[in-house]
Amino acid sequence: MEVGLRLLPKIISSKSNSNILVKSAVKKSNKTIPMDFCYLKTCNLCNKQLSPNKDIYMYRGDQGFCSIECRNRQIVLDEMKELEISTKQMVQSYRQCCNEARRETSLILEDIRMQRLKSKV
């Protein structure tokens, strides 16, 4: 199992006075990481067991999925949730605006009534 990027410098001497530095990018390890410590144990949507030997499809950085289909379903679900929240906020804003307009209209009507009463007196 690969354990990440490690630079292992190795100096190779040549016949000339210069040295060449060779860097190995990945070190193989015989140790296996226990699955208890891994957050990618199951698919985030269908809870199917994820295998380290198979592709894991990532979404939003930390959500792993067993297939492209599960990942795409989660994306659609998240988009629907965001749309629902946005719609609720728009409706709430509209209602608030309407309530303020109603209050303003009733104040104007009350003012007109008061002016009529004063003109009659």
What pTM value is reported for the model? Answer: 0.50
Tally of domains in the chain: 1
Q: What pLDDT was estimated at residue 71?
A: 95
Reported as a single tens digit per residue, the pLDDT across 56-66 is: 999 988 899 99
Question: Distance between CA 49 and CA 70 in Å, rounded?
Answer: 13
Structural domain boundaries enclosing 67: 2-120
For the beta carbon of residue 64, count every other beta carbon within 10 angstroms: 19
pLDDT category at 30 given cuts 50, 70, 90 is low
